[in-house]
Structure 1
Amino acid sequence: MQYNQLSNQRVLSIDAFRGITILVMIFVNELAGIRDIPAWMKHMPADADAMSFVDVVFPAFLFIVGMSVPFAINNRLKKGDGFWQLQGHIASRTLGLLVLGVFLVNTEGGYNEAEMGMSINVWALIFLAAAIMIWKVYYTQNKILVYSFKVLGIVVLTILAFLYKNVQGGHITPQWWGILGLIGWAYLYSSIIYQLTRGNMLMIFLMIAVCIGIYVVSRTESVAALSWLQWTRIQSGNAIDTAITLSGILLSLLFFQADKPTSDYKRFANAFVFTFVLFIAGYILRPAYKISKIYATPTWALYSAGLCCIIFIFLYWLTDKKHIDKWTGFFKPAAANPLLTYIIPDIIYFLTAWLGISLVPDSLRYGLPGTLWSAVYAVAVMGIVTVLNKMNIKLQL
């Protein structure tokens, strides 16, 4: 039984949005190491009460995950998955994102290479190789071979977790969940909410408000001081991320729910109304909560979700309605293989660091030259993904 009857057509605009987001992510991550560039090309400081386009990249990932949730869940139900099969799939995807997030976070600092017996670069490269073994799509009917590689990858990850030593002498820990881990939690909560509400748009809208409310409660001392509400402080960040993901689910249903026939005009009108509500809600909350990506405030989340709505509405009109879509071919490889695209820059970074080489001279580490280099690097990574796709190297959680 499906929760919603969704359009059967391939939604090119969602793929385009995903590909664009990945390209911008690679660009801004490389740009982070460039000096003497305008403030709007980097993350805004935590207390700035402002946001740059860089601060919208992570929300865009959450939003796109949300847009894909109704399609993914309903497709699995359509293929015959039972309730527990579906929950197992959701749990395994969540676990994969959490594991990847935690392992990547522990390469950022706080490690003790002397105790580990290897450099963090070697440790990270082995981890990434194991991740590829586990989550690679294998184009073979030999299940024994496939399971052997996956089990080997899991064994390697387990060994690496025990080999890892932090400066306190402990093993690998979730210092924080990392970008992939945060996406994992938001995906889990949103998938649960989508199922509990049975895809009802009004209920999903109310759950967005509930998620914002959890943050508000967590920052209200007189309320959060109550022992039974202490969990709100722990989950406030996840609640904000989930609100963004639920916004993606709701916009997806507004456009692609096919069991309630309506005109394109009404779909666009409803989408613009929803976008307007997001911006108004952010405006109302702004005096109490500054715009801050670092603090994951509701104003940042609502404005980001509103911007994602505008971007998608334009892309949908351009590609799926006006069929101006030839340009999207550049983004298709990354959109079809997002996880591999995400980790390629990490592979390049750890490999070059291990070999002691630098891809970029210092003359390209500042200002306009550095900005251009970052753009070239992002395009080059997209090219690498295209080649890997042709070699049938694809990762899927």
Structure 2
Amino acid sequence: MQKNRISSVDVLRGITIAAMILVNTPGDWGNVYAPLLHAQWHGYTPTDLVFPFFLFIVGCSIAFSYNGRTPSGAVYGKISVRALKLIALGLFLGAFTLSFPFFKEFSTIRFPGVLQRIGLVFFFAAIIALNANWKALLGITGGLLLGYWAILGYVSLPDGSAPSYERVPNNWAMYIDKAVLGSHTYKEDYDPEGLLSTIPSIASALIGVLIGRLLLAQAGEKTTKLLGIGAAMLVAGTLWSFLFPINKALWTSSFVLVTAGWATLFLAVIYYLLDVRGIQFGETFRKMGANALILYFLSSFISKVMGSIRVGDTSLHGWLYQTIYVHDFLPAKLSSLLYALTVVAFYVLLGLFLYRRRIFIKV
């Protein structure tokens, strides 16, 4: 296993997990600044970058952790166990309720989710990375993106209708989610972490694997390469979007390239400042990132619990928000943001506490 960590990747992981918590825990979903919301359908906002950034970092981590590893049953077993743990935690979040018997009725449980997708993406990306050189990885990534485009854009549905990228029944991603998952989705007709859209999300991680291997290389000007690769993906994804719209809910191929491009550019800047110039910053985020997944799980779980505990005619979350953050002299959106920032600060401190106690909970 690679022992020498790339500090810039660890810092970017911490920043990303803090951003994930920030956009998921506003004080009031009715009062959120536009950049902290997902795009309604086509297009993207800063919030839409957060999850693909994390999958990109998963890919980088795979490159570091399995560098030089020989494929074996034991290695595959560890990969499988970790993937199953992530999927199980995600299913638990989707099913848990405070009301006895503490789990929702089966028909109302959402099967897909963020942790489930991370688990699936990790499993397939790690298996592929173990068995492929950079040329094969590049070919597989390109094949996934082109194949997904072909299916979503050019294959007629079983009833003979032409496929669409819009939020309509003849969208292939929605069609498969409805046919396979039925009512076990985020919305009635689709899920942003659905089945078919998991295919291109694997490509997001494979791009991270390629970037991770570039960082591990002994020779070459890495910052310039990262900037060039990031800019190239950003331009390519933007141009592709004229044919295949950028869309997070569908995780379109143009979305993969644009978000991977931004992730690579962000990483290039952090890498240059931290790993090349030796400017010390981001230590708090690096330490927080050491327990990234468990902090994300706890933030989702505790948020769910606080929304379920009743205090008068509202929830514990609502009572705390209204009592502490809502004031006539504060704009409603600012109050909501301050609540979210407080939540982030709590998990930053928790991450620092765990790190200082040398407690690393690996999921």
Pick from 301, 306, 309 the counterpart of residue 354 of structure 1: 309
Q: What does residue 273 of structure 1 align with? A: 228
Going from structure 1 to structure 2, the CA distance change for 1:9 and 1:295 (only over 3 Å counts) comes to same
Going from structure 1 to structure 2, the CA distance change for 1:225 and 1:213 (only over 3 Å counts) comes to farther
RMSD of aligned C-alpha atoms? 2.8
TM-score of the two chains, using structure 2 as the length reference: 0.79
Q: What is the letter of the counterpart of residue 35 of structure 1?
A: G
TM-score of the two chains, using structure 1 as the length reference: 0.73
Contact 1:122 1:350 in 2 (8 A): no
Within-5 A mapping of 1:140-179: 164-166=103-105, 170=106, 175-179=110-114
Q: What is the letter of the counterpart of residue 286 of structure 2?
A: K
Distance 2:258 2:62 in 1: 21
Q: Quick check: which one's helix share is greater?
A: 1
Distance 1:70 1:28 in 2: 28
Contact 2:27 2:335 in 1 (8 A): no
Q: What is the letter of the counterpart of residue 202 of structure 1?
A: K
Pick from 313, 325, 330 the counterpart of residue 364 of structure 1: 325
User: How far did 1:363 drift?
Assistant: 7.2
Distance 2:207 2:9 in 1: 14
Q: What is the letter of the counterpart of residue 287 of structure 1?
A: F
Pick from 124, 136, 145 the counterpart of residue 189 of structure 1: 124
Going from structure 1 to structure 2, the CA distance change for 1:194 and 1:32 (only over 3 Å counts) comes to farther
Within-5 A mapping of 1:1-397: 9-31=4-26, 33-46=28-41, 49-74=42-67, 77=69, 83-107=72-96, 120-121=97-98, 164-166=103-105, 170=106, 175-197=110-132, 200-222=133-155, 236-258=196-218, 262-264=219-221, 267-325=222-280, 327-352=281-306, 353-354=308-309, 356=311, 357=316, 358-361=319-322, 364=325, 366-391=332-357, 393-397=359-363
Q: Which runs of 5+ in 1 are unaligned?
A: 108-119, 124-159, 227-231
Q: What is the letter of the counterpart of residue 202 of structure 2?
A: T
Describe the SS at the equivalent of 2:139: helix
Moved over 6 A (4+): none
Q: What is the letter of the counterpart of residue 350 of structure 2?
A: I
Describe the SS at the equivalent of 2:23: helix
Contact 2:27 2:340 in 1 (8 A): no
Distance 1:292 1:375 in 2: 27
Going from structure 1 to structure 2, the CA distance change for 1:62 and 1:37 (only over 3 Å counts) comes to same
Deviates more, 1:276-285 or 1:12-21: 276-285
User: How far did 1:171 drift?
Assistant: 6.9
Distance 2:256 2:27 in 1: 22
Going from structure 1 to structure 2, the CA distance change for 1:395 and 1:368 (only over 3 Å counts) comes to same
Q: Which runs of 5+ in 2 are unaligned?
A: 160-171, 177-194, 327-331
Distance 2:204 2:217 in 1: 19
Distance 2:243 2:293 in 1: 37
Distance 1:331 1:310 in 2: 18
Describe the SS at the equivalent of 2:98: helix
Structure with the bigger RCO (C-alpha within 8 Å, sep 6+) is 1
User: How far did 1:315 drift?
Assistant: 0.7
Describe the SS at the equivalent of 2:130: helix
User: How far did 1:391 drift?
Assistant: 4.7
Distance 1:359 1:387 in 2: 24
Distance 1:191 1:288 in 2: 31
Deviation sequence 1:266-302 (CA, Å, 0-9, x none): x233323322331233123212222211221112221
Distance 2:60 2:250 in 1: 24
Going from structure 1 to structure 2, the CA distance change for 1:223 and 1:217 (only over 3 Å counts) comes to farther
Aligned length: 320
Identity among equivalent positions (%) equals: 23
Going from structure 1 to structure 2, the CA distance change for 1:322 and 1:177 (only over 3 Å counts) comes to same
Deviates more, 1:201-210 or 1:382-391: 382-391
Contact 1:94 1:184 in 2 (8 A): yes
Deviation sequence 1:214-265 (CA, Å, 0-9, x none): 2112213446769xxxxx955531121111101111111112123xxx232x
